[in-house]
Structure 1
Amino acid sequence: MSEIGWIDTQEEFDALMHKLAGVDAYALDTEFHREKSYFPHLALLQIAWEEDGHQTIVVIDPLPLNLESMRTLLESDALAILHAADQDLEVLYRACQRVPRRLFDTQIASAFLGMGLASLARLVQALENKNLPKGDRLTDWTRRPLDQGQIRYAASDVEYLLPMRRELLSRADKNGTREWIEEECERVRNKNVAPLDPDTAWWKIKGSRNLRGKNVGVAQCVAAWRERAAQKRDLPPRFVLPDLGLASIVQRAPMNSQELSRVRGFDGRYGKNGAEEGILEAVAKGSELQPDDLRRPPKGQAPGDDLGATLALGQALVAQISSETGIEPSMLATRADIQALAWGRESGRLTNGWRADIAGARLEALFAGKVGLSGNGKGGLRIVDLP
């Protein structure tokens, strides 16, 4: 690895951001923590770029910096190259309210090229025949100073991204998947990275689809209270009220302190600093919530587990399509994608773009009884038209 630069002054950071806005492409990674917080907290930035055939790597300490000038880079035409970008995009948006205007994700590309959703270490080994340094995965990246081993370990996350992109695109051009890769990278770039809408938090409650009557309104209001409290206090929602306590409150709808104290999963520590009053107010509000005020999941969003046979059939078809195309099955369609389509949801990943062409249309035909699956006599499956 070439020499690694370290930036922790505002002047150096601002100058670098403006400089990189003029390059063709740059590699980017972040280190962050969120184990004990609602929002991710950026602890380190790693960036690599090339000039005159030479690669430069810098590690940036964001803790003392104002990151506003990073918007200049993210909004530029320079292509951001990341690996497994989803969480990094959320971190960047939280740090400077922007995501890159152009994105290439090496993990997404690997999923289209017969390598699955490869880890960075496996992809570097496969494409560059190099081994990434092993480091302590439990490093506290907010502690200062970082030692040279930690800095080198962080820098290695961007060291090979630029050459790997070139190799991945070369392979994609040969098998005709480049357009799909670029489409999927753009979809990931455009994903909503803003905090969860509190009024939809109840969709994640186990068994929420089976709720009836006033319990639906109670679920919406109490889950929304928990989500807003977690956001305000920057704590994981389970620290505000555990999932078991939330589910129990929804089922029992306690109307006073005595009833609340008997709810399973709730004890006094979760009722401090006005929390008990907030929960009871949410229960009362939810009990009176009118149908027009309910925020229900989109059709097909939460179908439950009563599609077992249909889901299994859909997953088998996706596995067969994966075998034919070399595309990672979970990239083609997740369990939730298949469920949503089976339940008739008219929007979603399988209803537009490359997925609709490759998997969505065939799954719809399967669920409509127009095609079926049978053994091919060789231990595999084949898709057959049905009369």
Structure 2
Amino acid sequence: MPVQPVSPEIITTPDGVRRLADRLSREPYVACDLEADSMHHYQEKVCLIQFTVPGLAAIVDPLAVADLAPLAPVFANPSIRKVFHGADYDIRSLHRDFGIEVNNLFDTMIACQFLGEREFGLAAVLRKRFGVELDKQYQRADWSRRPLTAGMIEYAAKDTTLLIELCGRLEAELREKGRIGWVEEECALLARVRVAQRSDGEPMFLRFKGASRMASRSLAVLEEILCFRDRRAQQMDVPPFKVLGTETVRELAEKKPRSLAELTGITGITERVVERCGEGIVRAVEKGLAVPEQELPFFPREERRKVGGDEERRIKALKGWREDKARRFAVEPGFLANNALLEQIALVFPRSEVELEGIAGLRPWQRREFGAEMVAALQARR
């Protein structure tokens, strides 16, 4: 029978944060989650941090109490297991906003993936394992708005209510299957992810999906449109996609409208968008079209190394081994070893397990569990 939820305590004072940190510091497991406002503001920020331990649910409001330093030792303590579900965004956000580093992370989503779960979103996992339905009504809410409604508070608290119990079940299953070490290593790597910062002078188009397929002139126009969109988003304090959507930007870069009339019919360009941004868009297009031919940007391309026949056969052998292993383990093949790793192993062509050491991207658990089999698969194809 799953644990019964308790009413969350909303923490808005420095003293409340200190008392919470003291309580959490005595727990072996702490369930964590956070809510941010990335869908609603230009500069996203953490708006709530939720914690659950037996007998206590707490929601810290960072907008009310800025100093979260007392919580940092809890997150950093390697003796306390911090349980998240889908922790990538949370880990990046905690470090970006508060400088918080997480040790002894356990991501229940990664655990589910290594147990072969085909649906590993939290709602699907809780439905399958506990018969609990998560209401996703507030998934896209603006969590920076105050006061929080009762429904928002309940929603925020629910995501962590069952995480510790879920963690216990998943740990037991992973140990039974001999995979607990795999997950712990993956979680330790995940705990080190950070928000990627754009370098000064780095073109914005480098992070735009589909830019690599555009001609140089379209790239010049794309860069100007992206810069315009970013400036306008800052002025309006909204995410850039709320100024102009991705498909709209792509179409503008390709069609290069030079007048307000030519904006008609472009995906996402409504009368309101024309009124609010039309002249700025046209100026951005003109600016991109004015870039001299010799100064046109280009998308950097990595030289694709030519793969010879022997290497291709080794890659095929490793993929065949992986497919067979994944079927027997009932997990997605990519969780055992991704294609880039198999290609790297095929290139190095190790003749022994010792020669696997130093291969980029090869995890210790992969070498420990599958090293001999990988080498054998390669030798069989000689």
**Could you tell me which of 239, 244, 247 is aligned with 1:236?**
239
Residue equivalent to 2:65: 65
Counterparts of 1:73-152 in structure 2 under 5 Å? Answer: 73-77=74-78, 78-127=80-129, 129-132=130-133, 134=135, 136-137=137-138, 141=143, 142-147=145-150, 150-152=152-154
Q: Deviations over 1:213-243 (max 9, x none)?
A: 5555x26743762575377444333334443
Residue 103 of structure 2 aligns with an amino acid whose one-letter code is R
Go from structure 1 to structure 2 and tell me whether the alpha carbon gap of 1:364 and 1:194 turns closer, same or farther (over 3 Å shift): farther
Q: CA deviation at 1:168?
A: 1.8
CA distance in 1, matches of 2:333, 2:191: 21
Q: Is the 8 A contact 1:46 1:155 kept in 2?
A: yes
Residues 16-95 of structure 1 aligned to structure 2 (within 5 Å): 16-17=20-21, 19-21=23-25, 23-49=27-53, 54-69=54-69, 70-77=71-78, 78-95=80-97
Higher mean Cα deviation, 22-31 or 138-147? Answer: 138-147
CA drift at 1:206: 5.5
- The one-character-per-residue Cα deviations of 1:30-79 (angstroms, maximum 9, x if unpaired) are 12333233443433321023xxxx43221233332214424444344333
Contact 1:219 1:286 in 2 (8 A): no
Q: Counterpart amino acid of 1:353?
A: R
- Go from structure 1 to structure 2 and tell me whether the alpha carbon gap of 1:200 and 1:74 turns closer, same or farther (over 3 Å shift): farther
Query: Superposition RMSD on alpha carbons, in Å?
Result: 4.6
Change (3 A) 1:63 1:107: same
State the distance in 1 between where 2:73 and 2:362 align: 32
- Tell me the distance in 2 between the aligned counterparts of 1:171 and 1:68: 35
Which letter does structure 1 place at the counterpart of 2:6? S
Is the CA contact 2:91–2:194 (under 8 Å) kept in the aligned structure 1? no
Out of 330, 346, 354, the position equivalent to 1:326 is 330
Equivalent positions of 1:227-376 (< 5 A) are 228-229=230-231, 232-233=234-235, 234-251=237-254, 258=258, 262=262, 264=266, 267=274, 269-271=276-278, 277=283, 280-281=286-287, 284=290, 288-289=294-295, 296=300, 298=302, 320-329=324-333, 331-332=335-336, 351-353=361-363
Change (3 A) 1:315 1:386: closer
* AA aligned opposite 2:62: P
Quick one: structure 1 residues 228 and 135, their matched pair in 2 at CA, closer, same or farther if it must change by over 3 Å? closer
Distance in 2, Cα, partners of 1:153 & 1:330: 33
Unaligned runs of 5+ in 2: 305-315, 349-358
Q: Residues 210 and 386 from structure 1, CA distance in 2 versus in 1: closer, same or farther, beyond 3 angstroms?
A: same
Q: What TM-score comes out, normalization by structure 1 length?
A: 0.67
Partner SS, residue 168 of structure 1: helix
Match of 2:8 in 1: 4
Once residues 35 and 238 of structure 1 are traced to their aligned partners in structure 2, the CA distance between those partners, rounded to angstroms, is 9
CA, structure 1 residues 286+14, in 2 after alignment: closer, same or farther (shift >3 Å)? farther
- Higher RCO (CA 8 Å, separation ≥ 6 residues): 2
Partner of residue 308, structure 1: none
SS in 1 for 2:202: helix
Q: In 2, are the aligned partners of 1:81 and 1:105 still within 8 Å (CA)? A: yes
CA contact (8 A) 1:18 1:72 kept: no
| Matching residue's letter, 2:132 | N
* CA–CA separation in structure 2 for the residues paired with 1:362 and 1:297: 35
CA displacement at 1:165 relative to structure 2: 2.0
- What's the % identity of the aligned pairs? 20
Q: Distance in 1 between matches of 2:295 and 2:363?
A: 38
Q: CA–CA distance in 2 between the matches of 1:150 and 1:46?
A: 12
Note the alpha carbon deviations across 1:331-367, whole angstroms, 9 max, x for none: 4467xx669959x999xx994326975899999999x
Count of residues in correspondence between the two structures? 343
State the Cα distance separating 1:100 from its structure 2 match: 1.9
Stretch moving more, 58-67 or 35-44: 35-44
Task: Kindly state the Cα deviation for residue 183 of structure 1 after the two structures are TM-superposed.
Answer: 1.8
Residues 1:135 and 1:121: Cα distance change in structure 2 (over 3 Å) = closer
- 1:27 is displaced (CA, Å) by 0.9
Quick one: which amino acid aligns to residue 106 of structure 1?
A: T
Q: What code does the residue aligned with 2:363 have?
A: G
Contact 2:46-2:97 at 8 Å conserved across structures: yes
Cα 1:253–1:131 shift into 2, 3 Å: closer
